[in-house]
Amino acid sequence: MNDISAFMLAETKRAYEGLDDESLAILKAHFPNDPIRQRAIDEVLQARGHPSIVCPQCGMRSYNPHDIAERYCGACHEFHSEMRR
């Protein structure tokens, strides 16, 4: 990660720390292709002690309780058990 990315991540985290969990979940779903935003949201939610699951195929972290229970990836639209390794 370069200096600009690190700065953007810190600024984004600072902005997101004031939002509630539901708003963060909505933002996370709206910007699937924005790695800075995704990482900022992940780090804020992790700091709050939220359980999460990481997709073995694409690496996306999800905080959705249904995804965790079903071991499902919303980015791949596949269950982890059905993925080819």
The answer to whether residue 76 forms part of the interface with Zn ion (CB under 5 A) is yes
Q: Which stretch binds Zn ion (CB under 5 A): 6-14, 24-32, 37-45, 74-82?
A: 74-82
- Please give the residues from 26 up to 65 whose contact with Zn ion meets the rule CB under 5 A: 55, 57-58
Least separation in angstroms between residue 53's CB and Zn ion is 10
Joined together, the tokens standing for residue 65 give 């309780």
Rounded to whole angstroms, the Cα distance separating 46 from 76 reads 22
Please say which residue, 29 or 58, places its beta carbon nearer to Zn ion. Answer: 58
Least separation in angstroms between residue 62's CB and Zn ion is 9
Q: Which residues pair with 72 in a beta bridge?
A: 79
Please say which residue, 1 or 58, places its beta carbon nearer to Zn ion. Answer: 58
- ∠ CA 14-27-62, nearest 5°, is 100
Residue 9 belongs to what H/E stretch?
A: helix 3-16
Q: Which residues pair with 62 in a beta bridge?
A: 53
Residues in contact with Zn ion by CB under 5 A are: 55, 57-58, 73, 75-76
